[in-house]
Amino acid sequence: IHFILLFSRQGKLRLQKWYTTLPDKEKKKIVREIVQIILARNQKTSSFIDWKDLKLVYKRYASLYFCCAIEDQDNELLTLEVVHRYVELLDRYFGNVCELDIIFNFEKAYFILDEFIIGGEVQDTSKRSAVKAIEDSDMLQETVEEYMNKPAF
Amino acid sequence: MPAPIRLRELIRTIRTARTQAEEREMIQKECAAIRSSFREEDNTYRCRNVAKLLYMHMLGYPAHFGQLECLKLIASQKFTDKRIGYLGAMLLLDERQDVHLLMTNCIKNDLNHSTQYVQGLALCTLGCMGSSEMCRDLAGEVEKLLKTSNSYLRKKAALCAVHVIRKVPELMEMFLPATKNLLNEKNHGVLHTSVVLLTEMCERSPDMLAHFRKVCLVPQLVRILKNLIMSGYSPEHDVSGISDPFLQVRILRLLRILGRNDDDSSEAMNDILAQVATNTETSKNVGNAILYETVLTIMDIKSESGLRVLAINILGRFLLNNDKNIRYVALTSLLKTVQTDHNAVQRHRSTIVDCLKDLDVSIKRRAMELSFALVNGNNVRGMMKELLYFLDSCEPEFKADCASGIFLAAEKYAPSKRWHIDTIMRVLTTAGSYVRDDAVPNLIQLITNSVEMHAYTVQRLYKAILGDYSQQPLVQVASWCIGEYGDLLVSGQCEEEEPIQVTEDEVLDILESVLISNMSASVTRGYALTAIMKLSTRFTCTVNRIKKVVSIYGSSIDVELQQRAVEYNALFKKYDHMRPALLERMPVMEKVTTNGPTEIVQTNGETEPAVLETKPPHSGMQPGNQANDLLDLLGGSDITPVIPTAPTSKPASAGGELLDLLGDLNLTGSPVSAPAPQISQPPFLLDGLPSQPLFNDIAAGIPSITAYNKNGLKIDFTFERSNTNPSVTVITIQASNSTELDMTDFVFQAAVPKTFQLQLLSPSSSVIPAFNSGTITQVIKVLNPQKQQLRMRIKLTYNHKGSAMQDLAEVNNFPPQSWQ
């Protein structure tokens, strides 16, 4: 996977994860372009788009579009499953996840994604383990008191 | 200073903004606050501030001033800090930033941290965006973690290793020992990531591939796959009743790589592939994903034919599936296999043709490509009907490809000449403006070759443009034909259909309208004018009218038209006796063979302007030594060396054959049957071989120069400018030898400043005979898009009087007309 984008129906970006190195301006351009392309598609079309030398796989869940860019030899149908699994993980963590959860807890959404995918490849196929790791990590996070008192370095 | 507001608070506030400007204001205020907080080196709130910064970054605002702060967070002992710090690093600190490398030490420490979640963070960050230097430094740590018994870390380390290998392929060897036991794990996460790692290694290195085949990786994988399928329900990894589809697909993919071109491996996996193919549930997307991967694997390895048929049937079933995605995927795969398993795919032809009517653009495109691949002698009439209908109704972005495809297919499989011409006519009239420019010469050649159809063709073309002359390619072909066969048109000789009554004046009317019309491109006008000229020998009553038209355009603003008109005028006046001979009917042209059946997107790009550009440097690097010498001698900085290319090796570039014919004539440099003196021309062959070369000297008249004259070796440059491309100058060099001994092994090399491009064609020979009794000719094409002053350094090497001679010279006396 080269990159993952989450954006709303109005085209507002909710999450972007890039697994390749690109200049900032380039990234913005790409995001604009892709958001435009996907928002223009109607319901009847397939979930796959040929774009430059990559394939875009996108799916809409309620008000959010999830879009992955994969290479030629990657399996598109499986990527749909990957996206679905990520949504399931979010759901499991937040409990009936909705767009607002992702907006207000974007850092958590990133943490979950990073627990599921590294370097563009899936790390764990178990539904439980990713969420468990995040919950454990959350426990590790210091409480406000601990945080204030602990020395930084 | 009051405590900075919390992240959630900020998000809430920003969302209340009603306009973009309001939002910007809020953000700027907050950024200012964050900046001062950073300046104060506040440890307590750094984390909160960076989190807010990341949110603003996502909205599109600049956040680079937070980069260093991320580093400080990573270095902090507090876990909360580290989490946000690493997130910030992944979002803001990619390898293009200067401070990226500063992370290395922190990551190294964290890789050895006592808490696995910290180690995990470090591995994740390194694996997502580590630069090559970082990877080099930390590969050892990653390798260590790959061997740990902690499966949580092991799986992350495996993916981190994948990233390291992608960035620094040389380090692959290092991870080899650790892979030995990877597949013995029970943990699915480790299994999955290990398979990914093995796949990456096998894809990148044939040695690794051979190694893994030897250590019986295939049986191991087969076993794992079997267990997955056979084992009972495992709630943790289950997706819609299928056990860990992600792992299954990855294993199938690795098997594909292992089995490719290897009989033993392929045989070992035949059974399991058949099992997966037949036992997988197809009701949900998951199952189909696995089947898809299985089909890809079967088609790619050396599988037995029964298995292949099974695979194609699966694809056929996919085609009938209601789910668009599945149909899409099926079409893509069929496209890949149509070459090898043509007959099997033919069986599904009607379904494929139906897909042409689908609403989805991507599906239509694939269906179109597949349809072209499936056209053969038997089904051509039916398929063409469908395809022509498709051409009519499809989106504009397809029309060009579809038209080209139809032309190709028609050429190969036309059942009769008349059908062929009818099909071409249909394409020209439906999608005339989308037909590729280089299809025009092809069509013209086709028409010339169908001698008995000339009358029919010209009649149909005439009728077509009578109503509408806006579609340029159609008009071009029509003009040319009318110019050639106008007499047939007027005499009403058509056998195939009802001949129409046309007078000479009516014909001239239409051609003149084309000339005058605003819709006509310059090229089209050229065609029309030449056509009118040709008719002067074919028509009997209207010669005066033709003379008048031609003389009017003698003062046209369009330089191309003006030149032609002037030349034609001269034809009428001074060379009238030659006119009939020059404007004679074109002979049937020799056709050079085209590409194979499925080349829909033709490499037709080899038309004149493209031929004149230099080939990309890395492909032409073989005579590298010579070029390097030139570079060294010239001190290289502002001059790009030119590698003398040997374009004759590709005699049959598809499509531009007609143009290349004359190109071929030039390359050999020897006198050819064409009436053109062998000065190279970007020819408008289609306007009649005779007219161009005779008059170019008169019209163009760029003075030639002596570029070099030393030791009895004289090199003259003569120039021509391209008619089609004003940035191109064609230089013909003539090397002569006034000494009393021959010069042998003569090699001419040239270099030009960076803004130019140069192409050197093959010389006529490598021996310059003595006493000026002969010359070597060579053609140089220079592309000068910026119209800069032409300068050239030349290097000459040859053998003379028994010794090797070499000389360098700079040519600065190019006349302005050659480059302006």
Q: What is the pLDDT of residue A69?
A: 92
CA distance B104 to B112: 13
In whole angstroms, give the CA distance from residue B133 to residue B113. Answer: 22
Asked if B327's CB is within 8 angstroms of A111's CB, the reply is no
| B495-500 CB contacts, 8 Å cutoff, 24+ apart | B495/B455, B495/B456, B496/B418, B496/B453, B496/B455, B496/B456, B497/B456, B497/B459, B499/B455, B499/B459, B500/B459, B500/B462, B500/B463
Contacts of A119 in chain B (CB under 8 A): 127-128, 159-160, 162-163, 166
pLDDT averaged over every residue in chain B? 76
Of B412, B428, B405, B410, give the one whose Cα is nearest residue B420: B410
- A40 vs A58: CA distance, rounded Å: 13
Best-predicted range by mean pLDDT (B262-266, B677-681, B698-702): B262-266
* pLDDT beyond 80 at B725: no
Q: Residue B191: pLDDT above 50?
A: yes
Tell whether A88 is covered by a domain.
yes
Q: Is residue A52 part of a domain?
A: yes
Of B203-217, B335-349, B620-634, B780-794, the least confident: B620-634
* pLDDT at residue number A144: 67
Return d(Cα B143, Cα B197) in angstroms, integer: 12
Nearest Cα to Cα of residue A114 among A134, A98, A99, A96:
A134
Angle at B200 between CA B199 and CA B203, to 5 degrees: 80
Q: How many domains does chain B have?
A: 2
∠ at Cα B255 (B249, B257), nearest 5°? Answer: 110
**A74 or B627: which leads in pLDDT:** A74
Q: What's the rounded mean pLDDT across residues B753-762?
A: 81
Over range B366-393, report the average pLDDT: 82
- Residue B774's domain comprises 705-818
Strand order in the sheet with B639-641: B639-641, B743-753, B792-800, B803-811
Please give the DSSP secondary-structure letter assigned to residue A47: S
- Residues B576, B711 share a domain: no
| A26 falls within a domain | yes
Residue with the bigger pLDDT between B595 and B244: it is B244
Indicate whether B813 belongs to any domain: yes
- pLDDT above 70 for B632: no
CB within 8 Å: A13 and B58:
yes
Q: What is the pLDDT of residue A152?
A: 61
CA nearest B507: which of B527, B526, B489? B489
Are the Cβ atoms of A78 and B246 closer than 8 angstroms? yes
Question: CB–CB of A85 and B188 under 8 A?
Answer: no
Last residue of a domain, one of B583, B599, B623: B583
Q: Does A51 touch chain B (CB under 8 A)?
A: no
The whole-angstrom separation of Cα B551 and Cα B565 is: 6
Q: How far apart are CA B802 and CA B222, in angstroms?
A: 71
**Residue from B244, B284, B324, B325 whose CB has the most chain A CBs within 10 Å, to mutate:** B325
Residue B261, class by beta-carbon neighbours within 10 Å (0-12 exposed, 13-18 middle, 19+ buried)? exposed
Judged against a pLDDT cut of 70, whether residue B275 lies above it is answered with yes
Give pLDDT, residue A153.
64
Cβ contact, residue pair A78, B245, below 8 Å: yes
pLDDT at B443 over 50: yes
Start-to-end Cα distance in chain A: 36
Torsion angle of C-alpha atoms B187, B192, B194, B195, degrees rounded to 10 = 140
- pLDDT bracket for residue B599 (50, 70, 90): very low
CB proximity list for B594: less than 8 A, separation 6 or greater:
B408, B411, B652, B654, B655, B657
- State the residue range of the domain holding A115: 3-147
Check if A107 contacts B (Cβ < 8 Å).
Answer: yes
Indicate the residue among B520, B555, B583 that finishes a domain.
B583
Mean pLDDT over residues B744-773, rounded?
Answer: 82
Give pTM, 2 decimals: 0.66
Q: Quick check: is B213 in a domain?
A: no
Range in A21-25, B223-227, B519-523 with the lowest mean pLDDT: B519-523
B35 residue type, one letter: R
Structure tokens at B491: 């005499």
Task: Establish if B187 belongs to a structural domain.
Answer: no
Sorting pLDDT into bands at 50, 70 and 90, what band is B351? confident
Q: Is residue A53 part of a domain?
A: yes
Average pLDDT over residues B804-819: 82
Contact call for residues B111 and B122 (beta carbons, < 8 A): yes
Task: Select the highest-mean-pLDDT range: B101-110, B391-400, B434-443.
Answer: B101-110
Count the domains in chain A. 1
Q: Please indicate, yes or no, if residue A111 is contained in any of the structural domains.
A: yes
What is the percent of chain B with per-residue pLDDT over 70, rounded to a whole number?
85
The 3 state secondary structure assigned to A77-125 is HHHHHHHHHHHHHHHHHHCCCCHHHHHHCHHHHHHHHHHHEECCEECCC
B554, B583, B612: which is the final residue of a domain? B583
Min Cα separation B600/chain A (Å): 18
Q: What is the CATH number of the domain that holds B779?
A: 2.60.40.1230
pLDDT band at A110 (very low <50, low <70, confident <90, very high): very high
Hey, what are B359's tokens?
């609403």
Taking CB atoms and an 8 Å limit, are A106 and B156 in contact across chains?
no
Hey, what are B721's tokens?
Answer: 């400018």
Q: What is the mean pLDDT of residues B507-516?
A: 79
Q: What is the ipTM of this complex?
A: 0.92
Dihedral pair phi/psi, residue B674, rounded to 5°? -65, 145
For residue A70, what pLDDT is reported? 92
Choice among A115-119, B456-460, B617-621, B701-705 with the minimum mean pLDDT: B617-621
According to the model, what pLDDT value does residue A145 have?
65
Domain membership of residue B497 (yes or no) is yes
* Confidence bin at A83 (pLDDT 50/70/90): very high
Q: Which residues of B touch A25 (CB under 8 A)?
A: none
Q: How confident is the model at residue B282 (pLDDT cuts 50, 70, 90)?
A: confident
The two structure tokens encoding residue B374: 């499936």
Asked if the structure places residue B463 within a domain, the reply is yes
Residues B325 and B363: their CA atoms lie apart, in Å, by 9
A153, part of any domain: no
Inside any domain, residue B612: no
Q: What is the mean pLDDT of residues B715-729?
A: 78
Q: How many CB atoms lie within 10 A of CB B611?
A: 19
Q: Which of B80, B163, B244 lies nearest to residue A147, judging by beta carbons?
A: B80
Model confidence over B151-162: pLDDT tens digits? Answer: 888 889 999 999
CATH number at residue A63: 3.30.450.60
What is the percent of chain B with per-residue pLDDT over 90, rounded to a whole number? 0
Q: Give dist(CA B28, CA B17) in Å, integer.
A: 13
All residues of chain B having their beta carbon less than 8 Å from the beta carbon of residue A114 are 87, 90, 124, 128
Residue B731 lies in a domain: yes
Residue A124 touches chain B, beta carbons under 8 Å: yes
- Measured between CA atoms, the residue of chain A closest to residue B46 is A152
What is the CB neighbour count within 10 angstroms for residue B214? 8
